[in-house]
Amino acid sequence: MTETAPVITVSNLIKQFGRFAALRGVTAEFSAGKLYAILGDNGAGKTTLLRTLAGLNRPTSGQITILGAQKFGDICHQVGYMAHSSLLYDEMSGRENLDYFARLYGISESARCTQAIRAVGLDPDLRRPVGQYSQGMRQRMSLARALFNDPKILLLDEPFSNVDIHSATGMVHLLANIRDQGKTIFVVTHQASLLDGTADEFIWMEAGQIVARTLDLQQTARTT
Amino acid sequence: MPAPTGIMPATLRKDLRLEWRSKDAINSMLFFSLLVVVVFSFSFDPNAEESRRIAGGLIWVAFLFAAVVALNQTWAREIRNQVLDAYRVSPAPANSLFLAKAIGNFIFVSVLEALMTPLFVIFYQLRPLGPTWQLLIVAALGTWALVVNGTFFAAMSLRTRSREIMLPLLLFPISIPALLAMVQATANVLTGGGARVWIALLLSYDLVFTTACLLLFETVLNAE
């Protein structure tokens, strides 16, 4: 396997909320064109790590370098972020939501939004407001929202939660295709088996630290 | 990468569309103001002269309280589904969001004023003895004074547990100079005097606080 230069470097990253340390000195490098599954129990620090990479949490100390930049604002247009919540307005249709968010990225061609909605298996002409979508549809529209700007790095927090197995498998195939185009994908999930055979690396977190990185789900953990 | 353009109008259009569909803010403001007009008209039975003296205070206090309802709604829809995070991870400038929200609130409160002022005139038998056009300027400047600070402080109290209480606690004390100018200017025009001094005060107030809010909003938006 050829090693590529890291697109993300995290060095001794600490994030504290008051006295509670959600991340305790995370140090790691992540390469381009790989799909990383971040696993761990609730409270392990997975979401905090993802939010910190997405520039939503300011690190208490430590350094993050993404695509050569240390300031998230410099590369934010190259990052797609999907949170646990939908990040969509319930009163607007999926298409209206994406058209609005596309404007925030300076994208005026609606073809990009149409393409993103089709990629997740939804109908771009669906006029129903997002509030009336099923949970699975909402998750997929949320993924489309993270994809429309064709990001180099995709940060996904629990993308498969409340999604039926058929749709979840479809999402995994889509993510594999995106990864094969050279994009780097991080997936925080409790449904690791869905990514078995697709993820390039499984990152195990515990108590705010990366405790192991394994190449497949069954492999004995090798500590970093 | 330069910041995308046209975000402020796009965000304003989105907010107007959301309000048109939900009518959350405008309905609550209208019912609240209507109650104030009716309750006050039953509580006092002033003659025409007394009405002219007290109407300025009654009108502006009613609009101030009603505006708080709209101001809380503005940001409430941004934290539902954590949509604000989608804005924060985008390259869109913070001030575009702030201006769109402030202008949106200005439109909502102005619509309320346009609908409620005739009722105040009827219930309190008001007939201005001074230059009426000055009242229009006072209304525009006064409304902006309320909404610009209100939008800012509503964003500031967004992450506090009791934000509905927090907003008036922060907004009312800082609005006192503007409120005083609005009440005095209105009373002066109604009783036959001019309001030039108070208009100048309101203009200065608006300039100072709009600048301060624009300078500080990014910090407020990204606060954890």
Task: Give how far Cα A96 sits from Cα of A83, A177, B101, Å.
Answer: 19, 26, 19
Nearest to B195 by CA among B129, B147, B113, B109: B129
Question: Scanning every residue of chain B, which has its alpha carbon at the shortest distance from the alpha carbon of A72?
Answer: B89
| Block residue for tokens 């959600």 | A22
pLDDT in tens, A64-104: 999 999 899 899 999 999 999 999 999 999 999 999 999 99
Q: Which of A180-189, B63-72, B163-172, B186-195 has the highest mean pLDDT?
A: A180-189
Of B21, B82, B91, the CB nearest to A105: B91
Instruction: Give the gap in angstroms from C-alpha B18 to the nearest C-alpha of chain A.
Output: 6
Nearest to B69 by CA among B188, B150, B128: B150
8 Å CB contact of B14 and A105 = no
ipTM of the predicted structure?
0.90
Residue A167 has pLDDT above 50, yes or no: yes
Instruction: Give the gap in angstroms from C-alpha B201 to the nearest C-alpha of chain A.
Output: 36
- Tell me if chain A has a CB within 8 Å of the CB of B20: no
pLDDT on residue A218: 77
Residue B194 has pLDDT above 90, yes or no: no
pLDDT in tens, A98-117: 999 999 999 988 889 999 99
Task: Give how far Cα A136 sits from Cα of A76, A112, A117, A167, Å.
Answer: 27, 22, 14, 8
Question: Scanning every residue of chain B, which has its alpha carbon at the shortest distance from the alpha carbon of A102?
Answer: B90
Q: Is the Cα torsion angle A132, A135, A137, A138 positive or negative in sign?
A: positive
Range A6-21 average pLDDT: 94
The backbone torsions φ and ψ at residue B154, rounded to the nearest 5 degrees and listed phi first, read -65, -40
> Which residue ranges make up each domain of chain A?
6-214
pLDDT on residue A222: 47
Q: Which residues in chain A touch residue B3, judged by CB atoms under 8 angstroms apart?
A: 106
With bands split at pLDDT 50, 70 and 90, how would you rate the model's confidence at B3?
low
Residues 6+ apart with CB under 8 A from A136: A162, A163, A164, A167
With bands split at pLDDT 50, 70 and 90, how would you rate the model's confidence at A188?
very high
With bands split at pLDDT 50, 70 and 90, how would you rate the model's confidence at B44?
confident
pLDDT on residue B48: 66
pTM, full prediction: 0.90
Q: How far apart are the first and last CA of chain B?
A: 26
Percent of chain A topping pLDDT 90: 77
The overall average pLDDT reported for chain B is 89
pLDDT on residue B153: 94
Of A87, A103, A106, the CB nearest to B83: A87
Residue B70 has pLDDT above 90, yes or no: no
Range B88-97 average pLDDT: 95
CB B185 within 8 A of CB B94: no
Nearest to A191 by CA among A155, A215, A159: A159
3-state SS, chain B, equals: CCCCCCHHHHHHHHHHHHHHHHCHHHHHHHHHHHHHHHHHHHHCCCCHHHHHHHHHHHHHHHHHHHHHHHHHHHHHHHHHHHHHHHHHCCCCCHHHHHHHHHHHHHHHHHHHHHHHHHHHHHHCCCCCCCCHHHHHHHHHHHHHHHHHHHHHHHHHCCCCCCHHHHHHHHHHHHHHHHHHHHHHHHHHHHCCCCCHHHHHHHHHHHHHHHHHHHHHHHHHHCCC
8 Å CB contact of A56 and B85 = yes
pLDDT on residue A1: 45
Residue B91 has pLDDT above 50, yes or no: yes
With bands split at pLDDT 50, 70 and 90, how would you rate the model's confidence at A186?
very high
With bands split at pLDDT 50, 70 and 90, how would you rate the model's confidence at B160?
confident
What part of A 74-133 touches B (C-beta under 8 Å)?
Answer: 74, 76-77, 79, 81, 83, 85-92, 96, 100-101, 103-106, 129
- Tell me how far apart the alpha carbons of residues B35 and B47 are, in angstroms, rounded to a whole number: 21
Percent of chain A topping pLDDT 70: 96
pLDDT on residue B1: 58
With bands split at pLDDT 50, 70 and 90, how would you rate the model's confidence at A223?
very low
Range A26-47 average pLDDT: 94
8 Å CB contact of A81 and B86 = yes
Of B14, B17, B89, the CB nearest to A55: B89
- Tell me how far apart the alpha carbons of residues A82 and B186 are, in angstroms, rounded to a whole number: 51
What's the topology of domain A6-214? Rossmann fold (3.40.50)
With bands split at pLDDT 50, 70 and 90, how would you rate the model's confidence at B224?
confident
Of A85, A100, A101, the CB nearest to B82: A85
8 Å CB contact of B83 and A145 = no
